[in-house]
Structure 1
Amino acid sequence: MLEINSVQAGYDRTTVLHDVTVSVPEDGVAAVLGHNGAGKSTLLRVAMGLLKPKSGTILLNGEDITSLAPNQRVARGMAYVPQGQQSFPHLTTAENLQLVADGRPDGSKAMVEALDLFPVLRELSSRRAGLLSGGQRQQLAIARALITRPRLLLLDEPTEGIQPSVVAEIEETILALSRRGGLSVLLVEQHVGFAMRAGQQYYVLEAGRVTSSGAGGVGSEQTVRAALSV
């Protein structure tokens, strides 16, 4: 579904990613792991078109999208949930979702389906997003992305700083979506157990380079932990 080939990217004169190659299987999950500063978020920004690579190519379902703007990538079925549980804090939960649903042919149906995935949001529909907990805002951010009916979902540390009970809910939703088919996921995550349960493929980034990669699954967890401890 997504192929990031030999990408070099960074900010001004600072190179963050060095010849990075990552692929996301169709209807599957690729997990990218690494410590803070390894280049994980930069990789997602490059994939989404928010940062232009200095070299390398990006293919979406075989099409070269390296030069496309973010909105053009969204039109081709990409959605991005950055770090920070982002929302419009002064709008209610329902208004946050409605903003995305408006103007889409099946926006109302997609909104209902997103609420079915995260029932707590239905209960909190009239509460301003700024008053939600971090975990609830993260669920709201993912739900907003899903309303666009993406073919490829980019998730940047969806479980970061969230209470364990909500982490479990988010994990189960992402796993259920990947099992259902029709959606590929590029998951940046520091929670190794979750990443290995979700990912069919994993990549470990260190100082902007892929230092380890392979098939995902719980059997790879020990290998990944060893790679991260180096």
Structure 2
Amino acid sequence: MLTIDNLVAGYDRSPVLHDVSLTVPADGVATVLGHNGAGKSTLLRVAAGLLKPSRGTVRFDGEDITRLPAHKRVARGMAYVPQGQQCFPHLTALENLQLVADGRREGRAALDEALDLFPAVRETLERRAGLLSGGQRQQLAIARALISRPRLLLLDEPTEGIQPSVVAEIETRILELAARGGLSVLLVEQHIGFALRAAEQYYVLEAGRVTSAGSGDGAAEGAVREALSV
């Protein structure tokens, strides 16, 4: 679904990613692991069209989208949930969801599907998003992205800074999404166990380079921990 080849990208004249290549399988999950500053978020920003690479190609479902702007990637079926439980804090949870649903074909049905997947969000619809807990805001952010019914979901650290009980809930929902089919996921995650349970393919980034890659199965955890020195 997504293929990145020999990607070089950064900010101003400071390169962050160096010849990064990876693939996300159709109807499957690929995960990217690495320490803070390894370039994981930069990689997702390039995939989402928010940062232009200086070299390399990005292909989405076989189409070269390297120079395609972000809004056209969304129109083709891509959704991005950035790091940090981002929402519009002065709007209610429902209003945050309606920003995506309103004017969209079958928007109401897609909104209901997202709420069925994240029942905790349904319980907070009338509350301002800025008053929600971090876990509730993260679930809201993922639910909002799913209303567009994407073919590819980009998730940046969806369990970061969230209480353990909600981490388990988010992990369960992402695994459920992956098992349904019809959706591919590129997941940036620091929880190694969850990342490998969810993913068919993993990549370890270190200083902007892929230093380890393989199949996301139980046998991979030792190799990943060794690559990350944890």
The count of corresponding residues between Structure 1 and Structure 2 is 230
Query: 1:30-53 CA deviation, whole Å, 9 max, x = no partner?
Result: 000000000000000000110100
Residue matched to 1:136: 136
1:120 deviates by 1.0
Residue matched to 2:59: 59
State the TM-score, normalized to the length of structure 2.
0.99
User: Map of 1:1-230 to 2, 5 A cutoff?
Assistant: 1-229=1-229
- State the SS of the aligned residue for 1:52: coil
What residue identity is the alignment partner of 2:164?
A: P
The percent of aligned pairs where both chains have the same amino acid is 75
Structure 2 CA distance, aligned partners of 1:141 and 1:88? 10
Structure 1 segments (4+ residues) deviating >4 Å: none
What residue identity is the alignment partner of 2:62?
A: G
1:218 deviates by 2.0
User: CA RMSD, aligned part only?
Assistant: 0.7
- State the SS of the aligned residue for 1:95: helix
Structure 1 CA distance, aligned partners of 2:150 and 2:229? 34
1:222 deviates by 1.2
Structure 2 CA distance, aligned partners of 1:145 and 1:64? 23
Structure 2 CA distance, aligned partners of 1:87 and 1:224? 32
1:87 deviates by 0.5
Query: 1:146-202 CA deviation, whole Å, 9 max, x = no partner?
Result: 000000000000000000110011001010011000000000001101000001000
- State the SS of the aligned residue for 1:87: coil
Structure 2 CA distance, aligned partners of 1:108 and 1:6? 40
Structure 1 CA distance, aligned partners of 2:219 and 2:168? 20
